[in-house]
Homo-oligomer: A and B are copies of this chain.
């Protein structure tokens, strides 16, 4: 036991009336909801990087956090893992997620990186034996080191492609070794700073081949989890190729991977791409590629990725409503890809940020489930399109322009608009949220 969280109790459900900061007021893991335990609906995960690896810097300032495990050695990496599992335990977190670079010290070359990773993965594996916390997903950090500054899979230098492919292999191995339920790819440097030096055609082909190799390797090693791409429109790159869900779908179709790969959707990335979070989830579900979410919040007045903890029940309810409509998670979950503000220096801040966020999600889930159970919203939606269910209208979709024109003329079709009832539906929504 480290003493980093000394004095902080395990967080337990105490109900909405509790005024104990260190209690859940809404998140009650065992509460049944729409046929499942709340924990099994929400599948919360803690993100290793923000909570344990981020020093608190921003573009205009350096480290603010002083953590005893900061530094680059195996011993410190193990202390970091100890603290991480203490936090998982305090929060009763069912899952965690990590990049290779979060958990292992940086080595001098690929071989050392891999040895370091393997040693720490063994250590984490041992810790997991004594913990209820499982691995939601693993991933490779192919963006922080300077070697990736011009891309990983899309790098103009084939050696970086090779390094990246080799690294992903080791990270997929690690993920499988730890029983991970998904493997994620976020291409923070797969994009460009300027079109002037960029060959879009080459880079997209490199990226398509890279992803195909990942899928092949998954099958080769019998990894049962899902492969997930995480869309983001930009930052750090000026333009990132996995811009949003629709763009990723087109990419997958182009390389014939739409049945092999799904998406991990982040609230903040949706906002940066000009979409609402629920739009991205609903679209992915409609296209059959919904996988998992990175839950956080992006400040609407800031033009960069703020990765804050979610605090808005109505917004999160929109997200969970779409997830429930789509049938809920299969391998996916709710990963808090969120960081405490760099002014939030204390260990308590780290714990309570998660507690508050878990409560917000629980409230949102409950509201969404109640609204779905009520059925009013879905009944309205169905009624709005009911005209299409009439046989003579269903045939429209298999007709042709000339026949339809003849029908419009013959029947004197002259459609009159009908109210979309948006405000009434918003009122209905607010009865449940």
Whether A304 lies near B304 (C-beta < 8 A) is: yes
Starting from the known contacts A166-B408, A199-B384, A253-B253, 13 additional A-B residue pairs (CB-CB under 8 Å) come to A58-B236, A161-B396, A165-B404, A168-B401, A170-B405, A195-B278, A197-B422, A204-B286, A209-B397, A300-B300, A352-B427, A356-B426, A359-B430
Whether A305 lies near B194 (C-beta < 8 A) is: no
Q: List 12 A-B contacts (CB under 8 A).
A: A60-B236, A149-B342, A149-B343, A162-B404, A200-B286, A302-B303, A303-B303, A309-B423, A313-B433, A340-B423, A348-B424, A352-B427
- B-contacting 9-mer, from A31-39, A117-125, A130-138, A413-421: A413-421
Interface hub of A147, A315, A360, A422 (most chain B Cβ within 10 A): A422
Decide if A373 is an interface residue (CB 8 Å cutoff). Answer: no
Residues of B within 8 A of A217 (CB): 400-402
Q: How many residues of A contact B (CB 8 A)?
A: 156
Distance of A299 from chain B, by nearest CB (Å): 6
Whether B145 lies near A62 (C-beta < 8 A) is: yes
Chain A to chain B: the 4 pairs with minimum beta-carbon distance, closest first:
A303-B303, A250-B250, A343-B420, A356-B427
Whether A169 lies near B235 (C-beta < 8 A) is: no
Residues of B within 8 A of A198 (CB): 381
Interface residues of A in 201-219 (CB under 8 A from B): 201-202, 204-206, 209, 213-214, 216-217
Decide if A372 is an interface residue (CB 8 Å cutoff). Answer: no
Known: A404-B165, A426-B196. A271 touches B286 (CB 8 A): no
CA of A247 to CA of B279, assembled, Å: 14
- B-contacting 9-mer, from A76-84, A88-96, A385-393: A385-393
Whether A431 lies near B25 (C-beta < 8 A) is: yes
Decide if A349 is an interface residue (CB 8 Å cutoff). Answer: yes
Whether B408 lies near A299 (C-beta < 8 A) is: no
Decide if A233 is an interface residue (CB 8 Å cutoff). Answer: yes
Decide if A353 is an interface residue (CB 8 Å cutoff). Answer: yes
Residues of B within 8 A of A59 (CB): 58-59, 235-236, 304-305
Whether A344 lies near B396 (C-beta < 8 A) is: no
Decide if A68 is an interface residue (CB 8 Å cutoff). Answer: no
Residues of B within 8 A of A426 (CB): 194, 196, 309, 311, 356
Residues of B within 8 A of A19 (CB): 431
Interface hub of A156, A214, A407, A424 (most chain B Cβ within 10 A): A424
